[in-house]
Amino acid sequence: MTDAVAHDAELDASGLNCPLPLLKAKLELNRLASGSVLKVIATDAGSQRDFRTFARLAGHTLLHEEDENGVYRYWLKKA
Reply yes or no on whether 51 is catalytic.
Answer: no
Per-residue model confidence as pLDDT tens digits over 8-41? 999 999 999 989 999 999 999 999 999 999 999 9
Residue-wise DSSP of the chain: ---SS--SEEEEETTPPTTHHHHHHHHHHHHSPTT-EEEEEE--TTHHHHHHHHHHHHT-EEEEEEEETTEEEEEEE--
- pTM for this predicted structure: 0.94
**Among residues 18, 20, 62, 63, which one is catalytic?**
18
- pLDDT per residue over 26-79, tens digit each? 999 999 999 999 999 999 999 999 999 999 999 999 999 999 999 999 999 999
| Extents of the domains making up the chain | 7-11+18-76
Residue 2 confidence class, pLDDT cut points 50, 70, 90:
low
Give the CATH class of 7-11+18-76. alpha beta
